């Protein structure tokens, strides 16, 4: 079942923060986050595995709450290069392929 992402779209000014949420009606084993720039292929950001861990690199981090079956992606002090569509992909177990959400379009303006 396709995870639900919110918001569908967000516009930020440089330096502002944003949160993108991903929730599922099924028990989650893992959550993957990808970013896709216009006309390009999706690029991997990070994976969070069952265990409620939080991960991050640079100013992008994510959390995974397996009890609530949801993950959040945090972008702090946004830069123009953060613009793109962010997808979460959820795994229900180690034996099933990911199911991707519809994406959240993030636009960062000067």
- Nearest distance in Å: CB 18, other proteins: 19
Q: Is 30 left (phi over 0), alpha (psi -120 to 50) or beta?
A: beta
Q: Which is nearer to other proteins, 56 or 76 (CB)?
A: 56
Interface with other proteins (CB under 8 A): 2, 29-30, 32, 34, 40-44, 47, 49, 87, 89, 91, 94-103
Q: Which is nearer to other proteins, 82 or 87 (CB)?
A: 87
- Give just the sign of the alpha carbon dihedral 72, 35, 50, 76: negative
Q: Which is nearer to other proteins, 1 or 81 (CB)?
A: 1
- 82 phi, psi to nearest 5 deg: -80, -10
Three-state SS for 84?
A: strand
Q: Which is nearer to other proteins, 14 or 44 (CB)?
A: 44
Q: Are 33 and 54 in contact (CB under 8 A)?
A: no
- Nearest distance in Å: CB 2, other proteins: 7
- Nearest distance in Å: CB 15, other proteins: 28
User: Quick one: tokens of 80?
Assistant: 């123009």
């Amino acid at each position: 079942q396709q995870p639900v992402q919110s918001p569908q779209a967000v516009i930020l000014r440089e330096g502002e923060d944003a949160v993108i949420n991903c929730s599922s009606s099924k028990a989650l084993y893992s959550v993957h986050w990808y970013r896709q720039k216009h006309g390009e292929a999706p690029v991997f950001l990070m994976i969070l595995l069952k265990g409620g861990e939080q991960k991050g690199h640079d100013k992008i981090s994510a959390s995974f709450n397996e009890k609530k079956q949801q993950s959040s992606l945090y972008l702090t002090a946004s830069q123009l290069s953060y613009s793109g569509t962010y997808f979460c992909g959820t795994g229900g177990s180690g034996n099933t392929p990911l199911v991707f959400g519809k994406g959240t379009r993030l636009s960062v303006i000067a």
